Amino acid sequence: MKKLFILFVLSGIHVNLLFAQADSITGAMKSEMMIPMRDGIKLHTVIISPVNARQAGPILLTRTPYGAFPAFIKNDTTLSLAFFGRNYGSFLKDGYFLIFQDIRGKYKSEGKMQIHQPLIHATDKNAIDESTDTWDTIDWLIKNLKNNNGKAGIFGISYPGWLALVGSVDPHPALKASSEQACMGDLFLGDDFHHNGAFRLSYGMEYTYEVEFDPTTDSDFDFPRYDLYDWYLQLGSLKNVNAKYFHERIPTWNNFVKHPSYDEFWQKNSPLSYVQSAQVPQLHVGGYYDQEDINGPQLMYAHMEKKDASNFNHIVLGPWYHGQWASFKADSIGRISFGSNTAAWFQELQKKWFDYYLRGIGDGKFEEAYTFQTGSNEWKTYSSWPPKEAEIKKLYAGANSKCSFNKPTSANGFVSFTSDPAKPVPYRLPPIEATYGPGSRWRPWHVEDQRFVYSRPDVISFAMDTLTDDLVVTGKIKAHLFASTSATDADWIVKLIDVYPDKTRPLSMSGYQFPVAMEVFRGRFRKSFSQPSPLTPNKPEEFVIDLHDINHVFKKGHRVMIQVQSTWFPVIDRNPQRYIPNIFEAKESDYIKAEHRIYFSSQYPTYIELPVMRQ
């Protein structure tokens, strides 16, 4: 959910010649307003107006908790369009007004802020929430901003993406289109703070401190070292966070402690409960490798698609980490190349989207789904998502570290390993820098070569034989893991990996283990996220894990691998493995070693559902 706007604006300073300015618009002027809300609270708002526009232009709004605009730009300053780069500059040169607003309680806005509050105005007519603040903002802009054409759109990435989503609920009549991008989804089932109930320790601790320690700015936790793997390990039990550092001062952290399962608090805070359908055209945008909000766009698209009688609901999925599509190039992540400038491709589509709904330009014929196909490195379009023509095939784990499309026939079959909370598997190559600290490699870790853990005894792998033809997998990946533990709780991390040939060009990619999809699941929630229960020691059970949507070609000559482990530290907190009703209250003595087993028998066949497309 981290701040992205300043980075992407500044990245455009050196691209002055990327687009031709419109004949009349010579630049853009910054001004600031304090816009009153219905309860009297005023929100700090930055208005970027096109200079010398000949026609009335639409309003494009972004609301944010991260600071509305670079503070070093003085009020009433006229800027060249090149300053804004290709993404924002393309709107300004066609007469758009760009609006950036601090949400209540952050930076220069009045009021009080707490992360990701639910919409309540529908049940309480006097209530104030992010939907009503959006309504009041647009109403003021339409009435007071000279030379606007009476139409508004809203978009944003990450937290601003969620604000675009909820700002489109019960919208102002002038709001004609929205694009939620990397939207925060359900914060217990997936995205920032939990994935399938497993707590995201390093991100959850660092982000909540950043946003809530000081409402006037972003705050960086003062770590005493650069590599944080050992620091988080020495932190011990989660109860030490408040005892030693936060001292109950961070409201969202306190909510983590109070609500360790999917109770009424998390259910009410989920957009699944207060966003039902697209009331204006909605373009969901997400990345396959989004390290922060991978689930939100996929989750909300699928949820809203159920009631999309007006064909307002559309989705774009690309080969991106968090917000990468708003950057200048986006042709690769780490060593994984995508063969083209995917950011430019998306930004052109985004411009067409808002041009049609806010300016009446174009034919309005948008595909249901635009998804980038990794492996072939091509954009594909679909009339439904996931595509209905995909055939579900089961990739089974088997003996001798193999996997295939053949169901196991043996009555017995498993592999065991020891899971030790004192020696957790790192989620990426050390050093583990502070999430947003100097030199952090947080953004690209979802595509990191998994060979750095492949040889560990607590990481289990099953690989296919070399593919003799391309294997095209398009849609939702779902793992069915049959496993047991000698303890009473366990975490399971499952990865679907594309293993490159031993003599790939360039040679640096030889044998690369590219994690196409991966996810974690906390075992106690196998029956219910709201009513967790301990595991029965040594009892095989099925754990169904959503590995999210992909569109990938496993190329001829490659191999497909299933990889399983039980720790992913410190992005996921250490499961004590002794069942504790509230892990945030676990004692040091509750952290115990356990023997885990992964089964591949006829009775307990571990497999991954692959939606395979015919070629």
**DSSP readout, 149-191?**
EEEEEEEEESHHHHHHHHHTSS--TTEEEEEEES----TTTSS
> Do residues 23 and 103 share a domain?
yes
The 8-class DSSP code of residue 243 comes to I
Among candidate residues 353, 382, 411, the one where a domain is terminated? 382
Contact indicator for 480, 613 with CB cutoff of 8 Å: no
Looking from the CA of 226 toward its CB, the CA atoms found within 13 Å total 6
**Does 195 map to a domain?**
no
CATH number at residue 503: 2.60.120.260
What pLDDT is attached to residue 114? 81
Taking Cα atoms as reference points, which of 1, 79, 94 lies closest to residue 46?
Answer: 79
Buried b (16+ CB within 10 A) or exposed e, 324-362: bbbbbebeebbebebeeebbbbbbebbbbbbbbbbbeee
Domain match, 344 and 432 both: no
Radius of gyration, alpha carbons of the chain: 24
| Residue 492, helix vs strand vs coil | strand
- Residues in Cβ contact with 415 at an 8 Å cutoff, skipping those fewer than 6 apart: 401, 460, 597, 598, 600
Residues in the chain: 615
Same-domain pairing of 100 and 148: yes
Is residue 224 in a domain? no
- 119 located within any domain: yes
Given 382, 407, 440, the domain boundary residue is 382
Q: Phi-psi category of 581—alpha, beta or left, where left has phi over 0 and alpha has psi -120 to 50?
A: alpha
Does 406 share its domain with 378? no
Q: Are residues 180 and 299 in the same domain?
A: yes
Tokens representing 591 are 């952290």
Residues 492 and 567 in one domain: yes
**Total Cβ atoms within 10 A of residue 429:** 12
- Bridge partners, residue 185, by sequence: none
Angle, vertex CA 246, rays to CA 245 and CA 247, nearest 5: 100
pLDDT of residue 153: 98
**Residue 239 falls inside a structural domain:** no
**Domains: count for the chain:** 2
CB-CB contact of 586 with 237 (8 Å): yes
- DSSP labels, 374-406: BTTTEEEEESSSS-TT-EEEEEEE-STTBEESS
Residue pair 580/590 in contact by the 8 Å Cβ criterion = yes
Strand partners, 332: 337
In a domain, residue 177? The reply is: yes
Contact 316, 347 (CB under 8 A): no
Q: Are the C-beta atoms of 118 and 273 separated by less than 8 Å?
A: yes
Copy the structure tokens of residue 537: 């020691």
* Same domain, residue pair 457 and 599: yes
Whether residue 291 sits in one domain with residue 161? yes
Return the residue matching tokens 């159920």: 306
* Segments in the chain below pLDDT 70: 1-23
Same structural domain, 36 and 176: yes
The predicted pLDDT at position 73 comes to 86
Q: Is residue 207 part of a domain?
A: no
For residue 132, give both structure tokens. Answer: 């009503």
Q: What pLDDT, on the 0 to 100 scale, is given for residue 4?
A: 59
Spatial separation of the C-alpha atoms in residues 325 and 280, rounded to whole Å = 23
Q: Tell me what pLDDT residue 21 has.
A: 34
What values do phi and psi take at 187, rounded to 5? -85, 5
Angle at the Cα of 318 from the Cα atoms of 614 and 8, rounded to 5 degrees: 170
Report the C-alpha dihedral over residues 586, 185, 294, 161, rounded to 10 degrees: -130
- Do 127 and 276 lie in one domain? The reply is yes
Residue that has been written with the tokens 């929430």 in this structure: 129
Other residues' Cβ atoms within 10 Å of the Cβ of residue 405: 14
Contact of 347 with 88, CB cutoff 8 Å: no
CA separation (Å) from 250 to 90, 208, 231, 254, 279? 40, 7, 20, 6, 35
Q: Is residue 167 part of a domain?
A: yes
Which tokens in the block code for residue 401?
């570290």
Domain region containing 540: 391-612
The reply to whether 297 and 416 lie within a common domain is no
Phi, psi of 301 (to 5 degrees): -60, -50
Among 352, 382, 412, which residue terminates a domain? 382
The residue among 178, 248, 174, 169 whose CA lies nearest residue 208 is 248
User: Residue 223: inside a domain, yes or no?
Assistant: no
Q: Do 345 and 412 have their domain in common?
A: no
Say how far residue 394 (Cα) sits from the centre of its chain.
27
